[in-house]
Amino acid sequence: MRKNQGWLIFLLIIGLPTFFFSGTALYKLYNYSHLDAKTQAEKIEWSVIKEEPWSILNLVGWGEERYILKVAFEFESEGVFYKKEAYDDSFRFRNEWAAQQEIAQEQNKKHFVWFQSSNPRHANLQKAFPVKECLSAIVLLGIFIYFVCLGFSAVRR
């Protein structure tokens, strides 16, 4: 490996986001793999929450309003009822009317609760494989390994 400080700083700049995205992907993959049981939701209540993201544009007053859905649901596992609240961040809306329309559509659907059989408090209405996060982590790890190998091959020559 080259001992050039510029090269090491470059590897650090590439390595930090690589390990951040890899950690995020592993965390989401862990959560996905532990949702191993499914049951029908007993009671579901939907509401609209105004998201308050931090940005410079919001400080000036030019930021966009965003709305997300908050869902409170109950389910039964082994004779015990559990209640959970969650934010459904897969739906983001630019106005409250669109969020209300989505709630009207979601109320007509049959919903299942995915939960961890050993700890039913860990539950969610959606179980989606984190494809985007895993692909990003794999690509970034490949780029990082490429540059590390490039550093080793430059020393040999």
Domain match, 122 and 146 both: no
Instruction: Name residue, tokens 């793999």.
Output: 33
Domain match, 118 and 55 both: yes
Domain match, 53 and 87 both: yes
Q: Which residue has better confidence, 99 or 61?
A: 99
Of 110, 100, 91, whose CA–CA distance to 47 is shortest? 100
Domain match, 45 and 106 both: yes
Stated pTM of the model: 0.74
Q: How many domains does the chain have?
A: 2
Contact 69, 102 (CB under 8 A): yes
Range of the domain at 59: 38-126
Domain match, 13 and 73 both: no
- Express each pLDDT in 45-81 by its tens digit: 998 888 776 666 666 666 677 888 899 999 998 889 9
Domain match, 64 and 103 both: yes
